[in-house]
Amino acid sequence: MSDFRGYLIVTDLDGTFFGPHTARIERNIEAVKRFLDGGGVFTIATGRYSDVVRDALPDVGELVNAPVIGCNGAQLFDFDTGETIAERPLGPEAGPALDLILENYPGCGIRISCPGGFLTSRENYESSPMLIRDLSRVSEERVTFLPRSRWEELKWYKIVVRAPADKIEMLRADLNRLFPGEFSLSKSGMTYFEIQSRGTDKSVHLEYLRNYAEKTSGRPVTLVAAGDYENDVAMLKSADIGVCPANATEEAKKAAKYCFCANTEGLMADIVDFIEKRGNVL
């Protein structure tokens, strides 16, 4: 058995660990189990919040042995204890930005990630085919419909805007002009635009995970991060080793040190094989 102690792998899910439509890649699963058996530390950094991670990956508790970064850094969650360790929710400044979208970008779907589920209004839901498609994949108990006047009753981890790519770029420009520096803005797909509290991204909890892994391993660790899109760039740059799949965006490829196989072919397996062959030379 290979010795993977001294390595921490943190991976994105969609477009990186999963295949299309959250397809499970068995080559990845086998490689992760081999990595864990060899003493490695493995976890996830995703735009999904903790409950939806488990929906997409029911055996997540068996595949990770460190806390999981959820909502692009707005949540750090421990599947062993079922507790949120840290969170970076949006503050009151998000209300005016949200109202700008509702007033000036009709037809854009808005879903807010909150502890335990998604928040939107019936009116917004019914006006957006993209949002209807998104939420049709989620169990009913995970979706809360409230009029806009009541949205502040819940905690907001992030605002996700579903719109055509050209509208997203117009919206990004408006937010940067009207609310300069107030939010972290990123795309997680061509038609997915995400608004979070200032300074929040997938890199913010990496040092916590490094310390966690070093305590677990009893030695310094090399942190390997994997991702494919704009919302992964900060994590790829902050890791000791950034890795992207062949299907990654050009921005992610520039941020990564290595580019391996496409996500459909088992990127985690390529990473584990590479660590195994290179040892501490990475």
- pLDDT for 6 equals 94
Q: Are both 83 and 211 inside the same structural domain?
A: yes
Whether 248 is covered by a domain: the verdict is yes
Dist CA 45 CA 48 (whole Å) = 9
pLDDT (mean) for 113-118:
92
If one counts the domains in the chain, the total is 2
* Same domain assignment for residues 180 and 105: yes
Task: Tell whether 206 and 192 lie within a shared domain.
Answer: no
Average pLDDT of every residue of the chain: 95
- Residue 25: the pLDDT is 97
Beta carbons of 122 and 109 less than 8 angstroms apart? no
d(CA 72, CA 76): 9
At 281 the pLDDT is 41
pLDDT at 137 over 50: yes
| CATH number of the domain within which 169 lies | 3.30.1240.10
Single out the residue in 197, 215, 243 at which a domain terminates: 197
Residue 49 has pLDDT above 80, yes or no: yes
Same domain, 161 and 24: no
Determine the pLDDT at residue 278. 73
257 and 182 inside one domain: no
The pair of three-digit structure tokens given for residue 141, joined into one six-digit string = 């108990």
Question: What's the confidence (pLDDT) of residue 282?
Answer: 40
User: How many other CB atoms are found less than 10 A from the CB of residue 120?
Assistant: 23
Print the domain residue range for 34.
7-87+201-281
Final residue belonging to a domain, choices 164, 197, 230 = 197
Q: Are residues 242 and 173 in the same domain?
A: no
In a domain, 1, yes or no: no
Both 164 and 227 in one domain: the answer is no
Q: Are residues 15 and 78 in the same domain?
A: yes
Of 49-58, 70-79, 94-103, which gets the smallest average pLDDT? 49-58
The pLDDT assigned to 116 comes to 84
What is the average per-residue pLDDT within 127-131?
96
Do 62 and 104 reside in the same domain of the chain?
no
pLDDT in tens, 248-265: 999 999 999 999 999 999
Q: pLDDT (tens digit, 9 = 90+) per residue, 4-27? A: 999 999 999 999 999 999 999 999
Question: From the centroid of its chain, how far is CA 159?
Answer: 13
169 and 100 inside one domain: yes
Q: Can you tell me the distance from the alpha carbon of 253 to that of 108, in angstroms, rounded to the nearest whole number?
A: 29
In a domain, 243, yes or no: yes
Mean pLDDT computed over 164-185:
97
> pLDDT grade, residue 186 (50/70/90)?
very high
Choosing from 168, 197, 226, the residue where a domain stops is 197
| Residue 65 belongs to some domain of the structure | yes
Query: Is residue 229's pLDDT more than 80?
Result: yes
Q: Is residue 43 part of a domain?
A: yes
pLDDT digits (tens, 9 = 90+) for 31-42: 999 999 999 999
83 lies in the same domain as 207: yes
The number of C-alpha atoms within 13 Å of 207 and in the hemisphere containing its C-beta is 1
Asked if 90 and 158 count as a contact pair (C-beta separation under 8 A), the reply is yes
Residue 279's pLDDT is what?
Answer: 64
* Average pLDDT estimate for 73-98: 96
Q: CA 105, 110, 112, 118: dihedral to nearest 10 degrees? A: 170
